[in-house]
Amino acid sequence: MDSLLVHDYLEKTVKNHPHNTAITDGKKSFSFQELDAKSDRLAGLLSDHGVTRGDRVVYYMDRRLECLTATLAILKAGGIYIPLDSKTPQGRLSQIIEDSKPKVILCDIKTVQKAIELKSKLTNQNFALISIDQYNCEDKLTEKIFFWEDVVSAHPIKCNIYGKPDDVAYILYTSGSTGDPKGVMVTHRNIRNYIDWSVHYFNITDADHILCTAPFYFDMSTFDIFCALSAGATLHLATGFKLLFPEHLARYIEDEQITVWKGVSSLLMYMCRAGVVTSERMATLQTVIFAGEPLAAQYLAAWMEAFPKVNFYNGYGPTEATGLSLCHHVQTIPAPGQKIPIGVPCKGARVVILDDADHPVSPGEIGELCISGDCLAKGYFNDPEKTSRLFTSPPPGLGMEPRMYRTGDLVQETPSGDYVFITRKDQQVKWMGYRIELGEIETKLLSHPDVKDAAVILVENNETNLSQLVAFFESAESILPQTLSQHLDKILPPYMVPKIFIQMECLPRNDRGKIARKNILDWYQGQDV
């Protein structure tokens, strides 16, 4: 792999396909040439505000085309991009800003007021505010807000910041077991390894139309963004109702003639249940990659029966291993209840299954999946203790790279050489593609003054294979569910707030004094709730 940085994908594509559509939401679009020019100007503005190699820049915006402009501009200026959800609660936003210490926060009309309020509270943070939308407010001068039209007059820069493949390209903040979000540092080398393999393996070309349903603050978007830039394909950004209602999404796939989609498994499930997965629909699809969580065999079978000519792949990869670490090309319709393999290692990933004593297990035995190679992230930002605990030296004699990531996922190897996911070692779960530490939700619940103890469980409906977060809690007072929901809304992102709250007189415990989660789950599933 050569030493080019990931934003150089755009420079190559501009030379070959300058007028091809780079990104569209169905109403508005940018060509590769326009995207290059816009990101050059914004990179110039960032540079004027002191952003240089290794500086962090947050973009805190609604889901829109300018998110891609922001991504490329930050990289061109030598910076590290940190994408945040526009719905991020103020408390969590403050934690991330104080941890990452960005030079600039990019915002829009929906987030600029929150950014202003944040800056007034975090007096120990010195960051500039740039809004890509006009915003009329009296605070413009006192808060030093700069606007998108200023980009027009900013001097453009052309990837002239010196960088190296092992420089960090982005930091993604994920759920943390201690109650605080943790930032995973992913390098240019990591992304290049992943994208170069993906474009070749999935045969993505400039004729493809890639659907982006993943949020930009979710690592699944890495595939969407950089595969499109590398291959010269068009990225189709699904927004609004298209993400909320399966019928709207199916129609968007048809209208935009989507050929490639890497989507979270639960979204494929919901489309099945909504009745839009039929042979008469979405005729242009050629490649569907599902990832983020297991996909029940009954739903995959429905997709494969409706689209026998589409290539279906099950992808696996933690954020710490950049996108896909393992992949399985599903070539036969699975039987009911069958576990879909997560596949074999992708390029740049070496894997081993270890037991509790760090010895490799035999094929068929269950152990923890550990990963090494060029896919491996640099570690956790500002957290050397967690980095050293999870990114360790592998046992000798295994042919692994010097650093190995312990995923916490228990898997087994089948006789065919495929790996199959079994369960987690800890309280981390995957829901709607999001990685959630149940301990973080419990910690935030316990911050309510009337909650004495709490346990959060991901409960699966055995009939539908769909799951939901349920919170069980103890309190001396009678607490309405909406009270706790409102409490969590202020400090957790929406996807981490349970929909069901169950007050119990006493949470059951085992003989070691720990909460007996299985007993709670058995009790709950036996109730008529």
pLDDT the model gives residue 7: 92
User: For 354, how many CA atoms within 13 A lie in the half-sphere containing its CB?
Assistant: 18
Q: Alpha helix (H) ranges present in 346-477?
A: 384-390, 438-446
Q: Which of 224, 232, 226, 228 is nearest to 206 (CA)?
A: 232
Q: Residue type at 279?
A: S
The two structure tokens encoding residue 67: 């998110």
User: Which string of DSSP letters, residue by residue, matches 366-393?
Assistant: EEEEEEESTT---EETT-HHHHHHHEEP
- The helix (H) or strand (E) run that includes residue 35 is helix 32-48
Residues 6+ apart with CB under 8 A from 108: 61, 62, 64, 66, 86, 131, 132, 133
pLDDT the model gives residue 126: 84
Which domains are assigned to the chain?
30-166 (3.40.50.980), 240-424 (3.40.50.12780), 428-525 (3.30.300.30)
pLDDT the model gives residue 425: 78
User: Cα-atom radius of gyration of the chain, to the nearest Å?
Assistant: 23
**Residue 380 β-bridge partners:** 184
Regions in the chain scoring below 70 on pLDDT: 1-3, 135-144, 148-161, 176-179, 462-465, 510-514, 528-529
Residue 354: strand, helix, or coil: strand
Q: How far apart are CA 102 and CA 261, in angstroms?
A: 33
Q: What is the pLDDT of residues 11-66, one digit of tens each?
A: 999 999 999 999 999 999 999 999 999 999 899 889 888 899 999 999 999 999 99
pLDDT the model gives residue 143: 57
**Residue 106 β-bridge partners:** 59, 130
Whether 402 contacts 438, CB under 8 Å: no
Query: What is the reported pTM?
Result: 0.85
In degrees, rounded to 5, the angle at the alpha carbon of residue 24 between the alpha carbons of residues 18 and 26 is 140
Whether 250 contacts 276, CB under 8 Å: yes
The two structure tokens encoding residue 92: 């969590």
Give me the phi and psi of 414, to 5 degrees please: -85, 165
Q: How far apart are CA 407 and CA 425, in angstroms?
A: 9
Strand spans (E) along 97-192? 104-107, 128-131, 145-147, 168-174, 182-187
pLDDT the model gives residue 141: 41
Burial 181-220 (b: 16+ CB within 10 A, else e): bbbbbbbbbbbbbbbbbbbeebebeeebbbbbbbbbbbbb
What's the CA dihedral at 194, 196, 201, 207 to 10 degrees? 120
Q: Which of 82, 113, 87 is nearest to 97 (CA)?
A: 82
